[in-house]
Amino acid sequence: MGQLTRSDIERKLLTGMPVSWNDGNKKKSQLLLSDPKARSLFKFLLTTSVRSPVGLTDAFIKSLATAYKSGEDPASYIKTGPSQVGDVALWKLHAIETEGFGGINTWNGPVFRFEFDQESLLLEGPNGSGKSSLVAAILWALTEERPRAQADGQAHDSKPVFESCNKPPVGQWPPIACYPSTAADLAVPPRVRVQLEFVDEHGKTAIVERILEKGVINSNIDPQFDVPSVFLETGLLMPSRLSALRLSGGANRLTDAVQKLTGLDDLVAIGQLVEGLCHKSREYLGVSHQRKPAPATYSCLSVGTAGT
């Protein structure tokens, strides 16, 4: 597969380009989503935390069918290729501004802003002072990821909130957002915003902003801020994933570690999910048969299987 990063692989698949590699027997294999519906389904699966074909919710099945029938083709608006390393400008982080971000902001508190002035920064402080949260905010704004060793799923996935031990949860809340002061406030979806301001060697400014609002993430990235994904993956994501690695016994421990380090473990999980959804003996086909419209759901999975 050469030097493709996870972002490169996702981009190729979403734009209808083939991803090729040699397997363990040096046999060439290829993955291609040639149908727009398959690309739309893949884009949807990238945004959901569902990775098991059992225990599926009505909301997931409905959203899967909606993605199939949407008529949207990611290839129509996603760039076809990554930037070349030698073609990009030198950008330095000038300032960060956050709102509602867990570990930095307080509930209904003021907007946090810090200016790095394009200088290197050494963070020192006790546990819980916000060092990791500041790095996580930068990481989330640039990649939409916030790898954490103690939590599975995506950064914006809601998790149960417990008021005290041995009692049922009082609500759901995404850990990326700062927690409210009362349980009643859990009923209102949080708003999280991180804005990064970069300056290049010519004094030009580029803004990168990511916002979580009402459960939906939107990003605004200045087109001139065109940074190769290999820089983001090796410089930010891989170091942050190191704490999640667990090298234990087993023949595949090194393979598992590499997949987790590179983020390819999630793409493998999506492939296994699709395989389970398309398997005639598995839960999805039996359940979806009772939930209309079943024909569209069947055909979309057939397209996805053929494409992958």
pLDDT at 1 over 50: no
The Cα–Cα gap between 276 and 301 comes to 10
Cβ–Cβ < 8 Å for 74, 147: no
Which pair of structure tokens corresponds to residue 298? Answer: 């069947």
Cβ–Cβ < 8 Å for 297, 65: yes
Per-residue confidence (pLDDT) for residue 29, from 0 to 100: 86
Render pLDDT for 23-46 as a digit per residue (tens, 0 to 9): 777 888 888 999 999 999 999 998
pLDDT at 154 over 60: yes
Mean pLDDT calculated for residue range 219-246: 76
The Cα–Cα gap between 292 and 268 comes to 29
Strands (E) across the chain are located at: 19-22, 28-31, 91-99, 112-115, 159-161, 171-173, 191-200, 205-213, 216-221
Higher pLDDT, 248 or 267: 267
Residue limits of CATH 3.40.50 in the chain = 89-225
pLDDT at 107 over 70: yes
pLDDT at 192 over 90: yes
Which pair of structure tokens corresponds to residue 254? Answer: 């090194």
| 83 DSSP assignment | P
The Cα–Cα gap between 237 and 231 comes to 9
Render pLDDT for 161-187 as a digit per residue (tens, 0 to 9): 887 777 888 888 888 899 998 888 898
Average pLDDT value over all residues in the chain: 79
The Cα–Cα gap between 64 and 59 comes to 9
For domain 89-225, which architecture applies?
Answer: 3-Layer(aba) Sandwich (3.40)
Cβ–Cβ < 8 Å for 276, 268: no
Render pLDDT for 263-297 as a digit per residue (tens, 0 to 9): 788 888 898 888 888 876 655 555 555 544 433 33
> Using omega within 30 degrees of 0 as the cis cutoff, is the peptide bond preceding 190 cis?
no
Render pLDDT for 84-106 as a digit per residue (tens, 0 to 9): 555 566 888 899 999 999 999 99
Per-residue confidence (pLDDT) for residue 109, from 0 to 100: 93
